A and B are shown apart, each in its own frame.
Chain A
């Protein structure tokens, strides 16, 4: 029942997002239209149908006006309406049925704009929201800086330092040479000891 758990959660999330959307969304054109998405990563389809001002998410495939076969990675690019034909050309997306339905759903996703700050303020108040937003901006900046720094260090290492780094075979060769010298020193020590013994006996 993974499919039902997923569709149930998606339906809740999408409709909550629609209710928070500040742009005017017109669902009239999509009334009783269904877009079915078959993702290569999932073993089941997910269908999105429009009824009045709600989007219903289900596993029903019988009612699809348009079916898209694709992957999660490509799905993220689908938000832009004009991307659909480009993705079909690139063989990243297989579409059957009415392309207009897919375009209208893509346009709907593109037009979603939620004023999270204002929504949060309704629940926790203006001042805490302001502080929280400032904190999240600071954290985001720090993360961005850290990410930038890591990227720069990594490229520095690859371009300059990696050339100077001793390879494993070089280390093995060095170890072998050290062992050889050590063995020779041991031999000489034994020989000196024997000679000393002979001299002292004479």
Chain B
């Protein structure tokens, strides 16, 4: 299976009308996406960490470390780890902000949040972490609340990305920054082809074997291809009001870290 043309402009994501969006390669009603994505993550939540390690050969840990290093987090900061899933970034942020700081682990999916909460509690990380089930488009926080907002491997699952970016901008303090870690477009054609082969032929089989759910990992591969490329996402962040936006390609552009400030 090959990927269709990737990296659409923000507007072209809604192909048929404003009420439709993508779920992988399928075009669906916007209202259905949340429940369909929820279905995927309810299904994979318990095997999520194992699959992440398997699929990325452990490199996702380095991508997340890179995000932490780029965040400039200080003791006492308030951090929102949006679509935080099983809490990898939250765990690190919680240690780095210290007792005076706060970290909110937010995810739209209750199963992911439960797995994350159990994992962090098992690690003894309880003091400064709060758990919130929230939709990125309608963040239930006051304006100017957070010093840092991160969303790692979550933005591509959001129904209306522009709305989510505006919502994040609202809850950031002036001087605060957003970091978006997300799959993106590989820089070299050869890597792109190898990545396509891996994503559509090996990944779903791995999902079938380990998580007993090949369809969810087929969706993962498709959703990555439908996600905006580096430049498009940067433009979307600019449009949402972020300043000094920039991105850094990791592992040849398989993943990109976008950063933007609110002044």
Q: A and B: partners?
A: yes
Is B95 in contact with A51, judged by CB distance below 8 angstroms? Answer: yes
Do the beta carbons of B95 and A54 come within 8 Å of each other?
yes
Contact stretch, chosen from B8-16, B70-78, B201-209? B70-78
CB contacts (< 8 Å) of A51 on chain B: these are 95-96, 98
Residue in B closest to A33 when the chains form the complex, CB atoms:
B75
Bound form: Cα–Cα A52–B62 in Å: 23
Q: How distant is the Cα of A63 from the Cα of B92 in the complex, in angstroms?
A: 15
**Residues A5 and B62 in contact, CB atoms below 8 Å apart:** yes
Check if B98 sits within 8 Å of A8, measured CB to CB.
no
Of the listed residues B59, B61, B95, the one surrounded by the most CB atoms of chain A closer than 10 A to its CB is B95
Of all chain B residues, the one with the shortest Cβ separation from A44 is B69
Asked if B68 is at the interface of the complex by the 8 Å CB criterion, the answer is yes
Complex CA gap A1/B99 in Å reads 29
B95–A60 touching, CB < 8 Å: no
B95 / chain A contacts, CB cutoff of 8 Å: 49, 51-52, 54, 56
Complex Cα gap A69–B9 (Å): 46
**B66 within 8 A of partner (CB):** yes
Considering only CB atoms, which chain B residue lies closest to A5 in the complex?
B62
Nearest-neighbour CB distance to chain B for A10, whole angstroms, equals 12
Contact with A along B244-255 (1 / 0, CB 8 A): 000000110000
Interface string of B136-180 (1 = CB under 8 A from A): 000000000000000000000000000000000000000000000
Known contacts A49-B96, A51-B96, A63-B74, A58 near B62 by CB under 8 Å: no
Check A8/B73 contact, CB under 8 A, given A32-B98, A60-B68. no
| Contact of A7 with B by CB under 8 A | yes
**Residue-wise interface mask of B (63-103) relative to A, using a CB-CB cutoff of 8 A (1 in contact, 0 not):** 10110110111110000000000000000100110110000
B61 & A8 in contact (Cβ 8 Å cutoff): yes
Q: Which residues of the partner chain A approach B75 to less than 8 Å between Cβ atoms?
A: 32, 63
Partner of B96 from A3, A4, A60 at Cβ < 8 Å:
A60
How far is A60 from B72 in the complex, measured between Cα atoms in Å? Answer: 6
Chain A residues with CB under 8 Å of B99's CB are 32
A41 at the interface (CB under 8 A from B): no
Q: A8-B62, A54-B95, A56-B95 are in contact. Are A3 and B69 (CB under 8 A)?
A: yes
Quote the shortest CB–CB distance from A128 to chain B (angstroms).
31
With a cutoff of 8 Å between Cβ atoms, the chain A residues found around residue B65 in the complex are: 1, 4, 7-8, 58-59
Task: Say which residue of A1, A32, A62 sits within 8 Å of B66 (CB atoms).
Answer: A1
Name A3-40 residues within 8 Å CB distance of B: 3-5, 7-8, 31-32
B74:A58 contact, CB within 8 angstroms: no
- Residue among B59, B63, B69 with the most chain A CB within 10 A? B69
Residues from 31 to 64 in B contacting A, C-beta threshold 8 Å = 59, 61-63
For the complex, give the distance between the alpha carbons of A123 and B61 in Å. 28
CB of A12, distance to nearest CB on chain B (Å):
11
Chain B residues with CB under 8 A of A8: 61-62, 65
Please state if A4 and B72 are interface contacts (CB–CB under 8 Å): no
- How far, in whole Å, are A3 and B70 apart by their CA atoms in the complex? 12
Residue of A nearest to B67 (CB): A4
CA distance A82 to B99 in the complex (A): 32
Q: How far apart are the CA atoms of A63 and B72 in the complex, in Å? A: 8
**Given contacts A49-B96, A56-B96, A4 and B69 within 8 Å (CB-CB):** yes
Q: Beyond the given A1-B62, A52-B95, A58-B68, please list 17 additional residue pairs across the A-B interface where CB-CB is below 8 A.
A: A1-B59, A1-B66, A1-B250, A1-B251, A7-B65, A8-B65, A31-B98, A32-B98, A32-B99, A51-B96, A51-B98, A58-B96, A59-B65, A59-B69, A60-B71, A60-B72, A63-B96
| Interface set of A (CB-CB < 8 Å, partner B) | 1, 3-5, 7-8, 31-32, 49, 51-52, 54, 56, 58-60, 62-63
Q: Taking beta carbons and an 8 Å cutoff, which residues of B are in contact with A?
A: 59, 61-63, 65-66, 68-69, 71-75, 92, 95-96, 98-99, 250-251
